[in-house]
Structure 1
Amino acid sequence: MSSQPTGRRRHLPNSPFNAGREAAARPPELIPVGTRVAHERYGLGRVVAAEDERTVIIDFGGGEVRRVNLDSAKLETL
């Protein structure tokens, strides 16, 4: 008996797992400069620059400036 798969994997069009593939394919919503945001780990901050369509630079105060990916579930606009 062979343990090799016997064909290609099929992706069903109505599979609930397709939602993750579709979300990864489209770019996240860009946050405008000056918008207040909340981060789960760093707290409240303000967007000071947009690096590209997936990354922003946020000033969390006290000299703490961080580069955050917009795909992050920990980032929320206020």
Structure 2
Amino acid sequence: MLSEATLNYGERAARALLGVDSLYRRESKDEDGLVVVDMSHGALQPAPYAEYADAIAAWQELKRDAAGLPEADRRRYYDQ
């Protein structure tokens, strides 16, 4: 079973991905976007990125935070 910390991390990563998707759709006017199927059914709100630099900074923070996850396999997975 995954720890609460890892589940929370996964939620942050999902919100970050939805945020990049939202930014991309807004910029490109692409209806499909990067996340073709949002399986969160509205349970997760996209991270509010004003520009790609904000998204890059958030993903860099997620990468750093992955090193502190309790499960070794998750640390390796998210580091890749």
Q: Identify the TM-score tier after normalising by the shorter chain.
A: under 0.3
Normalised by the size of structure 1, how large is the TM-score? 0.26
Which structure has more relative contact order (CA 8 Å, sep 6+)? It is 2
- Larger CA Rg, structure 1 vs 2: 1
Between structures 1 and 2, the one with greater helix share: 2
TM-score normalised to structure 2 length: 0.26
Which structure has more strand as a fraction of its residues?
1
